[in-house]
Structure 1
Amino acid sequence: AAIVRAVAYRTLLFRVVRREQEHPVQRPVPDGTHRLTVVLPAYREVDRIGETVTRVRTELGERLGGTPDALQIVVVDDGSDDDTYGAAAAAGADTVVRLEVNSGKGAAVRAGVAAATGRTIAFTDADLAYSPAQIADLVTLVEDGYDMVVGSRRHTDTRTLVAAGRIREAGGRLVNLATHALLLGQYHDTQCGLKAFRADAARDLFDASRLDGFAFDVELFHLAERWRLSLAEVPVEVEHSDRTTVSVVNDGLRLVADLMRVRQAARRGDYPNPTQHGAPTDG
């Protein structure tokens, strides 16, 4: 009976949290010299990052109107032992940040957010599994009042142009199941590599985040729930790459361990409340 009550209570919380998050809230436009900053975390991407920067500049810049203040591209070289840094700079990235040691995707995106000057801040993967032009759709929703807009590969309207391998697909589904033990909202895909935020919300989230690895996405969702930030899930067009630095087994195990750390930190009250951190409270 106790288990049934706990499940019923948690199901009710699922619905309440998502209902609160689904509504955008109009607030003053955050400060920023660019309309959008795109953060590209990169590790050992010397032979690909130049093309990535060029495509983001061309395809996304066109969608944003092509004005000089429309787009800032920030590449974060996550301690690569090749010349990813130089290749990104040569391709015309506005800012290139170099981490001295390989610290993880979460650390790289956090460093990129710190360097961002956009009123909206988005991040995506260097392999451009998600075509740059579709970032503009996320920007529109952020400007309409959402604090956080996330792509979802599980959305009914998502189009998969090139499917992931079976092992990677199975690993992704297991990760999503694991996240349901931590998060209240029934999100379809926490690990999609396409997300955008109001700049002030992004800074608050990453200032409060602790995880440097792949589980940092889940931590962001947890903080968004805690602070009642508005959040929209949107369909994407995805073209999986056969080249990846992700190990399904090793990174999957590390992710589960990180999920437990988030859960323990939340239980201890280690994460700030909205009023403690200055995060929006009316979203």
Structure 2
Amino acid sequence: MSLSTLPVHESGPVGVVAPVLDVVVPVYNEEIDLEPCVRRLHAYLATEFPYRFRITIADNASTDSTADVARRLTDSLREVSWVHLPQKGRGRALNYVWTHSDAAVLAYMDVDLSTDLGALLPLVAPLISGHSDLAIGSRLARGSRVVRGAKREFISRSYNLILRSTLSARFSDAQCGFKAIRADVAERLLPMVEDTGWFFDTEMLVLAERAGLRIHEVPVDWVDDPDSRVDIVATAMADLRGIARLTRALGTGRLPLAALREQLGRNPLPVAGVPAGLTGQILRFAAVGVASTLAYLALYAILRDGMGAQWANLIALLVTAIANTAVNRRVTFRVRGSDGAWRHQAQGLVVFGIGLGLTSGSLALLHLMTSPPTYVELGVLVIANLIATGVRFLLMRIWVFRATRGAHASA
């Protein structure tokens, strides 16, 4: 995307040339705070921001005099516009304004201006240059300075911990009201975002990560607004429902993330002689393999005395092979949804047969030579399993998941 980056004084008349940046301020019944917020933001942008800008007030069905304040601001400040939505929902307001804006970079911030405005240019600069696709202010990144109560600090950190454990999120702060996105990315990404409330940010960021987009994080100075009217309990429950819904959607593979990744995703840097994605697959496969081998050895040791070495090996290997295929399908090769799952398991059993031949053959050969103690059997099985693991990875990459590897890949 080619962005125009002429300074404000060279921009020409507003309305003729589109702004580089559109900052959305979503509000609901903010008749008191709206005017000082917008005037402070406008003054900062007019003096410190080097590109054309617009401030858009997104009124979420306010019932007080917020609309009157917004009209007064649009009359007195030419870079300010106002949109009224008949329904509440911060996500709904952002989605509407961002998809109708003609700016190259789209941002938003909360009306309380808890985040220091000095972070705005560092937030959007990587988007203007094309280096990144989205940008977020983070209160949890190293270098940030935050003033807020222990309760909100605990809730924020707990929420981000939940995101990391359930959705494998790698961004550090989903809830900070200070974010930006390139317009071309928003055009393709936002139609996939279903939430219209507070979970909108999180859903957008998770989908962006899964599509391979680059998210830039800026540590911010942030001071908690003691007059915040956010219902923490209701918001937390809505967020948890959103996490459950998004987990199901990603698990079933119903979101067309592969197409989005193909259009906008950033492919891994090429390394001569190394197929794309191979290093990451090897590392993930190795981690799954270690866990699978430990489970196999534990199960074999439990079954060995009751049913003998060969039967114990058969059952332990069969159980762990089924689990290994399922986990590698999702974790190593990033295949989502149920399509082809049974075929992958059937092919995995063929691979299991090869592993069974290696381990059973090793045991048979060992018992022909001697009557070994259990620890010697386990040592031989470890070596046989290492060989079988290498064969398993090769067959999974070039045969079992070859056809689906690219189609279902996600970040």
Please indicate the TM-score interval, normalised by the length of the shorter structure.
0.7 to 0.9
Structure 1 position 47, deviation (Å): 0.8
Partner of 1:244: 228
2:135 aligned to 131, 149, 153, which one? Answer: 149
TM-score, normalization: structure 2?
0.57
What is the TM-score when the length of structure 1 is the normalising length? 0.82
Distance 1:151 1:35 in 2: 19
The one-letter code of the counterpart of 1:175 is Y
Structure with larger Rg? 2
Residue 158 (str. 1) matches residue 144 (str. 2): yes
The answer on whether the counterparts of 2:209 and 2:215 sit within 8 Å (CA) in structure 1 is no
Aligned to 2:94: 109
What is the CA–CA distance in structure 1 between the aligned matches of 2:123 and 2:221, rounded to whole Å?
13
User: CA, structure 1 residues 114+207, in 2 after alignment: closer, same or farther (shift >3 Å)?
Assistant: same
Post-superposition Cα deviations, 1:140-184, rounded to whole Å, max 9, x if no partner, equal 121232101111101111122xx2222222211221122113333
1:33-90 residue CA offsets vs partner (Å, 9 max, x unmatched): 111000111111111111111111111222223x6xx111111111111121221221
| Residue 29 in structure 1 maps to residue 3 in structure 2 | yes
- Residue 154 (structure 2) pairs with residue 184 (structure 1): no
Q: Percent identity?
A: 27
Say which of 199, 219, 223 aligns to 2:203: 219
* Unaligned segments of structure 1, at least 5 residues: 1-26
Q: Summarize the alignment of residues 252-263 of structure 1 with structure 2, pairs less than 5 Å apart.
A: 252-263=236-247
Q: CA 1:235/1:277 → structure 2, altered by over 3 Å: closer, same or farther? A: closer
- Confirm or deny that 1:56 pairs with 2:37: no
Among candidates 230, 236, 242, match of residue 214 of structure 2: 230
Structure 2 counterparts to residues 90-101 of structure 1, below 5 A:
90-92=72-74, 94-101=80-87
Across the two proteins, how many residue pairs are aligned to each other?
251
Distance 1:209 1:129 in 2: 26
**Structure 2 runs not aligned, ≥5 long:** 6-16, 268-411
State how 1:62-141 maps to structure 2 within 5 Å: 62-65=47-50, 70-92=52-74, 94-102=80-88, 104-141=89-126
- Secondary structure of the residue aligned to 1:218 is helix
Answer yes or no: is the 8 Å Cα contact 2:188–2:260 preserved in 1.
no
Alpha-carbon contact 1:75-1:112 (below 8 Å) kept:
no
Distance of aligned partners of 1:123 and 1:190 in 2 relative to their CA distance in 1, 3 Å threshold: same
Give the 3 Å change call, closer, same or farther, for CA 86–277 of structure 1 in structure 2. Answer: farther
Stretches of 4+ aligned residues off by more than 4 angstroms: 276-279
What is the RMSD computed on CA atoms of the aligned residues? 2.2
Find the aligned partners of 1:196 and 1:231 in 2 and give their Cα distance: 10
SS in 1 for 2:250: helix
Asked if the contact 1:73/1:94 (under 8 Å) is kept, the reply is yes
